[in-house]
Structure 1
Amino acid sequence: MSRPISKLNNNNPIFTDNDPQDALITLNLGPTHPATHGVFQNVLQIDGERIVSGVSTIGYIHRAFEKIAEHRPFYQITPLTDRLNYCSSPINNMGWHMTVEKLLDIEMPKRVDYMRVIVMELARIADHIICNGILGVDTGAFSGFLYVMQEREEIYEIYEEICGARLTTNIGRIGGFERDFNDIAIRKIEAFVKRFPPVLEEFVELFIRNRIFIDRTAGVAAVTPEQALDYSWSGPILRATGVDYDMRAVAPYSSYEDFDFDVPVGTTGDIYDRFMVRNEEMRQSVRIIEQALEKIKKEPSGVFHADVPAFYLPPKEQVYTNMEALIYHFKIVMGEWDTPKSEVYHAVEGANGELGFYLIHDGGRSPYRLHFRRPSFINYQMFAPMSSGMLISDAIINMSSLNIIAGELDA
C-alpha cells in the first residue's frame, strides 16, 4: 500500500505512520548483484516496486591509484591508467602520456597524433559497443549484443597487433608509440572501418523498431541540460540532454582540429537519447579513423615518436649493444632526468566523458600529487536522485545507460 511521506534532513523520505506493515522496505542493490554492472551499492528505500529514495555507496574496489602514482616514475603510471575504464583503456593511456608531454613541453609529430587518434577512436567504438549492447540485454534484447561483440573482438585484435595486449593495453609511450603500425595492423584497421558500419546499422535497426525497447527507454530517466550541468556531467550522457560539449571539439588535442566530424546531441536526455547518441558517435569515430588513415599516408613514413631521447626509451637492440643507449634506458626507467616544477591539467574526451589528469610536479622522479578526473565518478553522483520515483526495473536500465565502470568510479 502506498503511504504519504514526509521529508526529513537530507531529503530522506520517511513514513508518517509507524505501522510496520506499511513501512518502507530497504533493498540493497549491489555490491554483488549482477544488475549493478560493477562492484558498487545502492541502498534503496522502496514502496512496493517503486523507489522512494536511495543512497549510493562506492569504494568497494578502491585501489588508491593516485597515491600509488606518487611513488612511481611517469612510465610506471601508465599501467595504472589502464585499470580505470578498462573498456577503453587506450584513451586513458594516451591522456596520461599527453599530460606528461604537456609538462615537458614536447612537440609531437603529426603522424604520431594521427596514430593516437586511430587508437582512441577504436577504443571509443569498443566502449560504446559494450554499453549499448548491454543496455539491450537489460531490456531483454540479447541478439544485438551478440551482433556487435564480434566487432569488439576485431578491435582487440588490432590492439594486439599494435602492442601485443588486448584489454589493459599499456599502449603507446610518453612521446609516441613503442613501435610503428605494421602493414598487418593497417590492413586490419582498413578492413574494420569497411566492415563495421553495416553491422552497426543492423544493430541499430534491431532496437529502433523494437516496441519493447522503445517503451522501456523513451521518456525514462530524462535529464534536463540544467540538471546535467549542475552535476558536472560530461560525455554522451551530457550531449544526450542537448548540450554540445565534446573535448575533441572545444579543446582539441592530438590534432583533432584537423578532422571533420559532427558532435551528436539529443533532445530529451532520456535513456533512448543516450543510446542513440552513442550509436552516432560510433559512426563519427569510423569517419575520423578513415580520415586519419588518409592523413598518415601523407606524413613521412616511419615516424612514430617525438625526438625526446631523455624520455623515450631507446630500442632494445641498442640497449643490449650500446653503452650510451643502456645509460639512457636506465636513467629513464629510474626517473633520473630533471623535470620542471609545474602544475598541469590535461583532459581528453573519454568514452564516458571528460577524463582529466591534474599533475603537480616538484621536479622529483614521481608526481608530487596526481588526481584523475574520472567521468564515471562524476556522472554517478546523480543516480540516486534520478532513481527517486522510478520502478526498480527502470533504475537498472538507467544505470546501464550511464555506463558506470567500477574501475573508473573508485580508482
Structure 2
Amino acid sequence: MEAASSARPTTQQELGTVVVGGGLAAAHCVRALRDGGYTKAVTIIATEDEVPYERPPLSKEFLQGSKPAQELAPFPADWYAENKVVLRLGITAESVDASAKRVELSDSSSIDYEHLVLATGCRSRLGGRDANMPGWDLPGVLTLRSLEDARGLKDHLVSDKALVIIGAGWIGMEVGASARAAGLEVTVLTPDEVPLSTAMGADFGSHVAQLHIANGVQCRFGTKVSGIGQGIDGKLLVQTGTGDIPADLVLLAIGAVPNNELAVAAGLEVVTGVVVDAHLRSSDPSILAMGDIAEAYNTTLGRTMRVEHWDNAIRQGKLAAATILGRDESYDWLPYFFTDQFDLGMEYVGDRQTDDVAVVRGKMASGEFIIFWVREGTISAAMNVNIWDVNDHLRSMIGKAIPVATLQDMGNDLLSL
C-alpha cells in the first residue's frame, strides 16, 4: 500500500501567474495581462472578501455617502470570470517556497506558479515602530485601510459625536473633513507643527490647517499622544502631555506598515519594501512586486523609491504585466497624487525633498494657487490647488531651470513656461 502524501493539494495544474494581494495594482495587472494576450492561468489570492477595489474614496466619497461600495471596483466581478481570472477571496498566502515556485495558502491548499506577483500592500500602523499604541484595541478605536474599516467608521459617523483623530497625514485630514461635513465634533492631534508637514512642507501644511480650523476642526499641533484609556462614563480618553481629551470615537491615522513578511520569508531582498528593479523584478527573477510594497528603481529619478499612491498602483500593475509579457518597459514616471478636503482640491506631481524651496504662484489666501518646489535651480515638483487641467503641463516642467521670479509672475502665461 502506498503511503499517504502529506503534501497540500495544489489548486491548478497549468502554471501561470499568481498575484498575491487584491488591491488596485492586482486588478490592473491581471487586466493588462489579458489585454496583452496572455493565455496562461491567472489567479488572484486576496485576504479580503472583496473584488479588488479603489481605496482613495474610502476616506472621502464613501464616507460622505456619495460613492457606494459597488462603485469602488475598477472591474466588476463578471469581468474576472469572463476572462478566466480566478479570484480566491478570503484566502491568505501563508508562505512561498521560491525553489519549488509554490505558494502555501490558509485553506491548506497550495498553488504553483511560473510568475509570482506580490501586491500585499500596507496595514495601518497601530503605534510606534516597536510597540503598539496603548489602548489601540479598545472599542471605538478605529483605523482606516480597508473597505471593512470604512464601513465600520461610516456606521459611527453620527452627528454630534466627538471624533479624535491621532495623526495629521492624508488619511487623518481627509477623514477629518468628511466627519466634520457629517456634523461630528472633530479634533486632530499631531506632534508636528502643521498637518502634512513631512509630505508637503510648512507652506501647504499651514494652508490646510487654516482650512480645517475655518471649518470647525479643532487642531492641536505639537501634541504627543501617550495612549488611549476609558473613562467611567464609557467615553474614550486620549492621553496627552497636556491632559486627557474625551472622545466617542478615535481614529488612529499614524501611518502604514508595508506587508513585507511574505517576501522576507521567501528570502527576497527587503529594505523598507521589496527591492525590485525598474521592471519590478525582485532578487528572484520569477517573483515581482508592485504597489505599496515595491521599493522600485525609477529610471527618471535614478534611485529606488516606494510610493503608496493610487496612480502608482495602477501604473505598476500594468508594468508588472508588461514584464511578464516580455515587453521592455520600465518604471519611468513621476509620482502623482491628489486630495479633496472641504472646498480644496489639489493634484501633485514630482519628487519633492525636504530641503527643496517652495515657490508659490498666485495668492494662497484666494484658495487658487500653484506651488513649485525648486532644488538647485530646477523644478523638482509642482502642485495645483483648485486650478484644473494644468497638471500634465506641470509634469512637463519638472526638471526645467526656470527663474523663481518667472514662476511667480502671474503675467507670464503658465502654459508658455
Q: TM-score range by the shorter chain?
A: under 0.3
Name whichever structure is richer in helix by fraction: 1
Name whichever structure is richer in strand by fraction: 2
Tell me the TM-score normalised to structure 1 length.
0.26
